[in-house]
Amino acid sequence: MAQSRLFEEMMQAEIAELRALAVLAERAWRDRSERHTATPTRLPEAVLRVHARVAEVERMLTALRGRFSGNEIRSA
């Protein structure tokens, strides 16, 4: 159970870090896009991969919480 709490904390930290990275990357992309073209283009593949990783870690966190439901692990 202590390990599950540790894994949960690690996953929450990774999600927070990835979300912050995605915000910065999207902001930089928008700034470049607005300077070079009138119409926005598709998000770069790297930003899409960050979003996919966030979704993957969120699924893992949900699975962890499902496996250790109850008082063993807290929900966010």
Residue that has been written with the tokens 């300077």 in this structure: 35
Instruction: Tell me which residue has tokens 């699924």.
Output: 59
pLDDT of residue 39: 64
Going from N- to C-terminal start, the domains of the chain cover: 2-72
**pLDDT tens figures, 11-29:** 999 999 999 999 999 998 8
Whole-angstrom distance, CA of residue 45 vs CA of residue 25: 11
pLDDT tens string 26-51:
998 888 887 776 565 788 898 999 99
What pTM does this model have? 0.76
Distance CA 36, CA 15 (A): 31
